[in-house]
Structure 1
């Protein structure tokens, strides 16, 4: 049997906490820090292990996942279905008969536990219809909706002077306001189940990145909304978890070379002559090439993200934040959030 997600890290955190507590107590009381550490560790490590193995029964739970046409959402919907959950897969392209949606429909044919739902998260009408579809198709034995995984997202690039305001608005309408719209629509069902909301943010929700302000702004917003909602939902025993993936562009279809080239052309064509002259074609093309290189960079195996999402859904007591990313990316966030800005700029800009 595979170890629960994050068990080694949780055990390491417990050991560090025990050591710090024992050091403080020994300093105050004059006792032996090694003995105190041993006592604390004997209690803490089994408790962490027990906590890590406490899962809900998937056969009694239903989950909604948005953005299931491809990438993380598609993989997560299939994985949760395999575990035994009733899965409602929100798909933007369901009404257009997309092949990936047909794959989900085929996977759920025999069990009846994987149901695709047309959902454009920017549409009030489609989200409202999705809520009623979920209500109508919940099995009688299942109370409410155990989890909403807000995975749908969109990405773009460009320096602020290059990006039209309507593009900022469009990215926000999907990544931020779409997430809020879906969450508000399904919260009554989530409260009924005393379940959880799982929001997909990004490492770029914790730090800025050159030429990514439209995306970063929305993911910072997701972080803030999630923190506020976590506080507000405690009285209903509803959890809120945030997933902060690192660079998995190579493993998803969210961003590819054709998308970057199309976005680049629209930006250049939409600029005024003044802005074009200020930056120059050569500089603009260089930045486009950098963005093109990102489409094949990073990790192509998306299983760390899917596993983190799954843990947030299946764990009785989920973490508040999951960070499936490389150590370098964790280090970069640490520098961005804990050291002066000039240090970050000198190291990474």
Structure 2
């Protein structure tokens, strides 16, 4: 029996890898992408616009440099809509929905919403005890409740088109790494959300996809941004906890980043991720899960980590990572 199961799985994997790709036409199709100020969302918005999709790109600020570049760099400017939207604000999400619904149905475009890409997110780095409740609640509000809030709002339009929902997650949604506890928790949650939603939406012809990068150098991974975030987290930490950890200078905080950098080398080719995001939107038969990784060695490490027992993984992290406590 086990041999038959193994052969079946192997054949399915080979078929998925080598089957010819069939791409849907972009004509008459619109895509909503959150978090397009910078990084993956910004690049994806321009790429899909170049492919002929009508793109609704949400940004935190419509006056930001990233927002202005979306308009100036778009190959088809009339098909690039930049919308100010904070995924943590229900009224802003509803306002964005009203805008999209109006333009799809009443402005004569004749398009329908084919895909929703939940890309907006924030990084959280630091030990579990550090920071205030408000700080980690924000991480959950953006990374977890944000995609849920946006999906619930736009799902009727996606269901109508029999389109797809693409959720940007992370490989850290599959296993947890210190000191990214809050970030890992939110990504685990979105994977569970995606798996459940995919099964619920199957009868409606809606596909749900996760894209789970294994660490890339975007604005979230910028060294100065990470240090500033860690400093804010430390300043909000209770004095008695600060005393236990023994840190009192920014130099000590830099050591945490240096240790993390030694263990996790982020990829630099962002197009690897954008290619998978684009395939998830454009492919008639997208994968359920994409795991973009930069480099052969990184791919091998991810493959090993995903398959070894948790006890082994604990030991590996213990040997390779220093505790935040000196």
Match of 1:196 among 133, 139, 164: 164
Q: Residues of 1 paired with 2:6 and 2:195: CA distance?
A: 29
Q: Give the TM-score of the pair, scaled to structure 2.
A: 0.86
Confirm whether residue 258 of structure 1 aligns to residue 258 of structure 2.
Answer: no
**How far apart are the structure 1 equivalents of 2:119 and 2:253?**
28
Q: Pick closer, same or farther for the CA change 1:329–1:260 going to 2, 3 Å.
A: same
Per-residue deviation, residues 171-193 of structure 1 (Å, max 9, x unmatched): 01001100001111110110111
Work out the CA distance in 1 between the residues paired with 2:224 and 2:6. 52
Q: CA deviation at 1:18?
A: 11
2:324 aligned partner: none
Paired residues of 1:156 and 1:212 also in contact (CA < 8 A): yes
- Cα distance in 1, alignment partners of residues 304 and 248 from structure 2: 31
Deviations 1:160-207 (A, max 9, x none): 111322111100100110000111111011011100000000011001
Partner in structure 2 of residue 12 of structure 1: none
Residue 273 of structure 1 corresponds to 239
1:206-258 superposed Cα distances (whole Å, 9 cap, x missing partner): 01001111100100011000000000000100000000011102xx1123233
Say yes or no: does 1:113 pair with 2:79: yes
| 1:99 paired residue number | 65
Contact (CA 8 Å) 2:71, 2:77: kept in 1 or not? Answer: no
Cα–Cα, structure 1 residues 84 and 20, in superposed 2: closer, same or farther, change >3 Å? same
User: Residue 108 of structure 1: CA displacement?
Assistant: 4.2
User: Cα offset for 1:286?
Assistant: 4.5
Q: Is the aligned partner of 1:89 residue 2:57? A: yes
Unaligned runs of 5+ in 1: 1-16, 24-39
For 2:32 and 2:76, the matched residues in 1 are separated by 19
Is 1:20 the counterpart of 2:4? The answer is no
Q: For residues 209 and 287 of structure 1, do their structure 2 counterparts lie closer, same or farther at Cα, with a shift above 3 Å needed?
A: farther
Change (3 A) 1:107 1:275: same
Q: Name 1:310's counterpart in structure 2.
A: 278
Residues 276-287 of structure 1: pairs in structure 2 closer than 5 A? 276-281=242-247, 285-286=251-252
Per the alignment, do residues 84 and 281 of structure 1 end up closer, same or farther by CA in structure 2, a change over 3 Å counting?
A: same
Determine whether 1:56 maps to 2:24. yes
Q: Could you say which structure has the larger radius of gyration?
A: 1
Q: CA RMSD in A?
A: 2.9
* Corresponding residue for residue 183 of structure 2: 215
Question: Greater helix share, 1 or 2?
Answer: 1
Is 1:185 aligned to 2:153, yes or no?
yes
Aligned residues: 310
